[in-house]
Amino acid sequence: MSNWELPADIEMPSIERVGGGGFLWDSGVYDATVKMVYLDQTESDAVSFNIELLNSDGKTLEEQFWILNGKAKGNQTWYTNKSGKKVPIPGYVSADHLCRAVLGENLDPVRKTAENKTVSVYNKEQGKKVATEKPVITNLLNKAVKVAVQQVIVDKTAKNGNGQYLPTGETKTINECKFFGSVENGKTADEITKNQPATMFTRWAEKNTGVTINKSAAKSKKATNTSAASIMDSASPKDPTDSLFK
């Protein structure tokens, strides 16, 4: 079994929950188009699944899902939670959800279809997006997808002397894709898989449309290390390598 396959004793959880300006999308349910999906890899070999969506208002949304953790975490698609149960890492679940919603296939076989293409990727050193070769999942490009989007307030973080990312005391507002589904029938990926009626998007929208969730340390009164980079034991992205396709 490769690192990309979930062990047989790990159940894929549902990410579908009803739950509690500028270029941001307001919280709500959108019909969108998948404009880009590419894989990236850090120096610690953590792998991200990077998406760009376009809605009918002409606004784009970019999000990064970590689908393989870094070397210090074993380069796995799963981890053991506080209860001692093995569970998929959150980003793997979200990326799998998108693949099932759009293509009816799980993440691993879809990932294997990636082709090296030149894409526009943000470069920290140059402070702008530059043309870079990355593995692109072309099967997902220009496909329609329904998505539940939440506006979320999170901490800005910076690396300390120990290499940990901690809150700086400032916050920012971002978009998070909560789950995905079919534009054609209005069903979420889980409703499609389980042959259930289309109800989740409606129920989620009734509770979350226009609502911004505050996840910042200022609200929780705790300066905990919650950055994706820390969770995934990741560093700066590196050039694509064959390890992305193992």
pLDDT value for 9: 66
39 CB-side CA count, 13 A: 28
Q: What is the pLDDT of residue 236?
A: 52
Among left, alpha and beta (phi > 0; psi -120 to 50; other), residue 74 is: left
Name which of 36-40, 116-120, 155-159 the model is least confident about: 155-159
Q: Tokens 């990410």 belong to which residue?
A: 15
Q: Which two tokens stand for residue 74?
A: 């074993």
**Could you report the per-residue pLDDT of 87-102, keeping only the tens digit for each?**
999 999 999 999 999 9
Residue 139: band (very low, low, confident or very high) from pLDDT cuts 50, 70, 90: very high
Q: Give the model's confidence band at 13: pLDDT under 50 very low, under 70 low, under 90 confident, else very high.
A: low
Q: Which amino acid is at 101?
A: A
- Best CA proximity match to 42, nearest among 165, 156, 147: 165
pLDDT of 214 above 80: yes
**Residues facing residue 60 across a β-bridge:** 54
Q: What are phi and psi of 172, to 5 degrees?
A: -145, 160
* Beta strands 237-238 and 28-42, pairing class: antiparallel
Cα distances (angstroms) measured from residue 101 to each of 77, 200, 202: 20, 13, 16
Across the chain, mean pLDDT equals 86
pLDDT for res 175: 96
SS3 label, residue 234: coil
Task: Mean pLDDT check: name the lowest of 50-64, 93-107, 125-139, 226-240.
Answer: 226-240
Please list, in sequence order, all residues whose beta carbon lies within 8 angstroms of the beta carbon of residue 194, skipping any fewer than 6 positions away: none
Contact predicate 179/200, CB 8 Å: yes
Strand blocks (E) in 101-143: 115-123, 128-136
- Hey, how many other C-beta atoms are within 10 angstroms of the C-beta on 12? 17
* pTM of this structure: 0.80
